[in-house]
Amino acid sequence: MSPVFGHGRLRLYLLKLLDEAPRHGYEVIRLLEERFQGLYAPSAGTVYPRLAKLEQEGLVTHSTEGGRKVYRLTDAGRAELASRQGELDELEVEIHDSVAQLAGAIREDVRDSAKDLREELWNAAKTAPRPDRAEGGGDPWSGPWGDKDSWQRAKEEFAQFKRQAKEQAQRAKEQEKAAKAKTKAAEEEARRLREQSKAARTAAQQEALRIKRRVEQQVREHAAKGDWPTGLAEGLSELTKGLAGLADAARWGQPSDEPAPVEHVTVTRIDLDKEEPAAAPADLPPWTATDPAGDPARELERLLDRFRDQVRDAARDGGVSPERLAEARSVLGTAGERLKRLMA
């Protein structure tokens, strides 16, 4: 077997051929021979056991059509092929190089064979005994070489072999040229994929940075107004939508083998079940003042009364819309639950 398919490479290339279209075993063998331009063809004993092994691993499945097993990739097989795309690109380049080397070796063998045949014919002609004209006065073409017709046939056969050898050498040269062109095309495709992956990775990093800044801005704006629950909810919504977009592989193209630079994002965890430290007395409005020497339960009731008065006055002055009512409901619900946990 060709050294190109060492270390599980034939297994990977079989996955590639089945990814192109479902195929039966004989078709796989024929395609491999075509890819090597007739210079290499695997046997059935090489291909069929590997197809059976791939099926055992769950990467390939088969159905019987017209008395033949037709193999096709499973989702697991497509996933493995996608994860080894970089290795597959390298394998394509190696195959084209191998074809070029095989073509060169065949051309060299043909040249050597023609040279050896010329030497054999020349040596045979020199060493063949010939009758002495002076002694026998016979025909110089008599003897082991036969008559002139035999010698002419030998010359024609040699000319035909030489012509065939030249044609084979020309075909090998053309195959080598085609293999080099394919190698160059594969290298260009690999370079294009690397550039595309790099550009997609850069765009994804910029998008992640934009999402981070947008979420931070929303949370800060609402926190400055004292409405941190709404800011948190909108920030989480924006973050969820942004992450969904970043997870779309079709948007950013195929992944690259090169590791992507890590975007360092600082995340602050907000524990809604954990009580935040009380604000400093200087930050509280005057109506929250209490008598430290008074009864705590009574002071709490007075504080709640003043709170209700503050909210009622603000609602009377500014009016109550459905949107404000919904936000007030959210704030009161959150505050009420915190107070219940505090008093429990």
Q: Answer whether residue 324 is part of any domain.
A: no
**171, 228: one domain:** no
> Do residues 10 and 1 touch, judged by C-beta distance below 8 A?
yes
Higher pLDDT, 164 or 143: 164
Mean predicted confidence (pLDDT) in 70-98: 85
CATH number where 43 lies: 1.10.10.10
Mean predicted confidence (pLDDT) in 93-99: 74
Which positions ≥6 away from 47 have C-beta within 8 Å?
Answer: 14, 25, 28, 29, 32
**104, 183: one domain:** yes
Length of the chain: 344
Q: Is the pLDDT of residue 1 over 50?
A: no
Q: Is the pLDDT of residue 61 over 90?
A: yes
**64, 120: one domain:** no
**218, 155: one domain:** no
Torsion of CA 75, 79, 80, 83, to 10 degrees: 170
Domain boundary (165, 180, 196) is at 196
- Round the CA-based radius of gyration of the chain to a whole number and report it: 42
> pLDDT tier at 260 (50, 70, 90 boundaries)?
very low
Q: Answer whether residue 34 is part of any domain.
A: yes
CA-CA distances (angstroms) from residue 247 to 83, 181, 188, 194, 205?
16, 37, 28, 20, 12
Range of the domain at 45: 3-83
Residue 43: what pLDDT? Answer: 84
- pTM of the prediction? 0.34
Q: Answer whether residue 238 is part of any domain.
A: yes
Candidate from 93-102, 141-150, 288-297 with smallest mean pLDDT: 141-150
Tell me what the pLDDT averaged over the chain comes to.
Answer: 75
Q: Answer whether residue 178 is part of any domain.
A: yes
Domain boundary (176, 196, 216) is at 196
Q: Answer whether residue 306 is part of any domain.
A: no
Q: Is the pLDDT of residue 341 over 80?
A: yes
Q: Answer whether residue 311 is part of any domain.
A: no
**8, 51: one domain:** yes
**98, 178: one domain:** yes
Q: Answer whether residue 148 is part of any domain.
A: yes
> pLDDT tier at 235 (50, 70, 90 boundaries)?
low
Percent of the chain with pLDDT strictly greater than 70: 66
Higher pLDDT, 262 or 216: 216
**98, 183: one domain:** yes
Distance, CA of 144 to CA of 151 (rounded, Å): 10
Count of helix runs (H) and strand runs (E) in the chain: 10, 3
**34, 76: one domain:** yes
Mean predicted confidence (pLDDT) in 279-303: 79
Give the range with max mean pLDDT: 19-28, 91-100, 156-165.
19-28
**8, 63: one domain:** yes
Q: Is the pLDDT of residue 258 over 90?
A: no
Q: What residue spans of the chain are helical by DSSP H?
A: 9-20, 25-35, 44-56, 75-83, 85-127, 148-224, 228-246, 249-252, 296-318, 322-343
Q: Would the CA dihedral through 82, 85, 87, 88 be positive or negative?
A: positive
**171, 219: one domain:** no
Distance, CA of 64 to CA of 24 (rounded, Å): 9
**163, 181: one domain:** yes
Higher pLDDT, 2 or 37: 37
Q: Answer whether residue 56 is part of any domain.
A: yes
Domain count, the chain: 3
SS3 helix, strand, coil % of the chain, rounded to 5? 70, 5, 25
**105, 179: one domain:** yes
